[in-house]
């Protein structure tokens, strides 16, 4: 399969390395200032999935530099770069191209569908942890589940989606087909909204947040507001009540990742912009749209934006 990975950060490097090593034709797209991080076009993976290296078929600052027909575009950029990246990939998106949204938060899939239509866009929920080491290496630190891939709209040929799943799974990245991927993504949004900003603000691991009654109460309130907002916006979740999710959250989700720091923590430490607008900020936006107050999510969003300005 001819594949373009747009965004060679921690997630993009991981996808590109495994997919190229498995025999696919893989191009990487990264910002011009990052090109020198990839001498010889090489990318690497280390960590819990072993050590792997690959030489990509090309690493470019623009998708327009790719001359081959692309079957799959994997979008792994930060959510605040989504619209720009979607605009840039137009030269390589044909009638047979699928765009896989593999990003955090709400709004990325929706923006891609708005620009390319439901028959071009599939969704992936990624829940393995990865961080960049030495510029061109992704270290896989934790994996909670398969990459779940599906078509929320039901407009794309099922076999085409399954082909993407099989290509990724056979490369060494655990992946599975999930028709309910949109609900599964919202599971991750719940998880990230509760943990990421607090972990970043307080320099705390997920386990430390869950053990403290003060932060636990804040996380409970974040989750409860999200349930109220999604209900009013007709967004279907996989949980009947916030209490049911909260029980699963503390009992099943936190223990395997208790020592993990959120990516937002590392973003603030390195002076980068965070994805808060696609997480708690998106909850606030959806709340305003439906007339639902979201005071806890709004406060958390404002605090992260303050820290962003302070760290830049």
For 172-197, how does the pLDDT look when each residue is reduced to its tens digit (9 = 90+)? 999 999 999 999 999 999 999 999 99
Coil, strand or helix at 26: strand
Sequence-separated (6 or more) residues with CB below 8 Å from residue 293: 287
Q: Average of pLDDT values for 80-86?
A: 97
Q: Average of pLDDT values for 119-144?
A: 92
In this structure, what are the phi and psi dihedrals at residue 309, rounded to the nearest 5 degrees? -65, -35
For 7-19, how does the pLDDT look when each residue is reduced to its tens digit (9 = 90+)? 999 999 999 999 9
Predicted TM-score of the model (pTM): 0.93
Q: Average of pLDDT values for 259-274?
A: 91
pLDDT for the residue 140 = 94
Sequence-separated (6 or more) residues with CB below 8 Å from residue 134: none
pLDDT for the residue 311 = 83
Q: How confident is the model at residue 142 (pLDDT cuts 50, 70, 90)?
A: confident
Q: Which of 69, 131, 188, 232 is catalytic?
A: 188
- pLDDT higher for 304 or 312? 304
- pLDDT higher for 144 or 280? 280
Q: Average of pLDDT values for 279-286?
A: 98
pLDDT for the residue 289 = 97
Whether pLDDT at 242 is above 80: yes
Q: How confident is the model at residue 35 (pLDDT cuts 50, 70, 90)?
A: very high
Q: Which of 176, 9, 209, 169 is nearest to 104 (CA)?
A: 9
CB 122 within 8 A of CB 146: no
Q: What percent of the chain has pLDDT over 70?
A: 100
Q: Average of pLDDT values for 224-228?
A: 98
Coil, strand or helix at 284: helix
- pLDDT higher for 143 or 15? 15
Whether pLDDT at 312 is above 80: no
pLDDT for the residue 256 = 84
Q: Average of pLDDT values for 23-42?
A: 97
Whether pLDDT at 226 is above 90: yes
**Cα–Cα distance for residue pair 162/60, rounded to 1 Å:** 28
pLDDT for the residue 49 = 97
**Cα–Cα distance for residue pair 120/173, rounded to 1 Å:** 23
163 is catalytic: no
Q: Which of 67, 65, 79 is nearest to 29 (CA)?
A: 65
């Amino acid at each position: 399969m001819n594949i373009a990975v747009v965004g060679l950060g921690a997630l993009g490097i991981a996808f590109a390395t495994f997919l190229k090593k498995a025999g696919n034709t893989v191009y990487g797209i990264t910002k011009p200032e990052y090109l020198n991080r990839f001498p010889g076009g090489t990318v690497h993976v280390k960590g819990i999935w072993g050590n792997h290296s690959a030489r990509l078929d090309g690493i470019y600052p623009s998708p327009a530099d790719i001359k081959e027909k692309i079957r799959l575009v994997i979008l792994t950029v930060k959510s605040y770069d989504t619209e720009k990246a979607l605009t840039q990939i137009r030269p390589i998106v044909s009638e047979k191209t699928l765009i896989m949204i593999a990003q955090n938060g709400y709004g990325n899939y929706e923006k891609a569908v708005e620009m390319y239509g439901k028959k071009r866009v599939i969704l992936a929920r990624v829940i393995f942890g990865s961080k960049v080491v030495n510029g061109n290496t992704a270290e896989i630190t934790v994996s909670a589940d398969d990459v779940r891939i599906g078509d929320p709209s039901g407009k794309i040929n099922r076999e085409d989606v399954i082909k993407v799943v099989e290509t990724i799974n056979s490369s060494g990245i655990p992946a599975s087909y999930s028709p309910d991927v949109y609900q599964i993504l919202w599971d991750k949004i719940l998880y990230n909204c509760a943990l990421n900003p607090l972990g970043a603000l307080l320099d705390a691991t997920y386990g430390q947040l869950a053990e403290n009654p003060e932060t636990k109460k804040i996380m409970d309130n974040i989750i409860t507001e999200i349930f109220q907002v999604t209900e009013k916006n007709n967004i279907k979740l996989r949980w009947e009540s916030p209490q049911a999710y909260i029980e699963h959250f503390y009992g099943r989700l936190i223990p395997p990742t208790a020592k993990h720091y959120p990516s937002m923590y590392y973003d603030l430490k390195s002076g980068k912009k965070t994805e808060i607008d696609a997480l708690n900020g998106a909850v606030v936006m959806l709340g305003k749209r439906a007339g639902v107050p979201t005071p806890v999510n709004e406060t958390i969003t404002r605090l992260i934006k303050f820290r962003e300005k302070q760290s830049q």
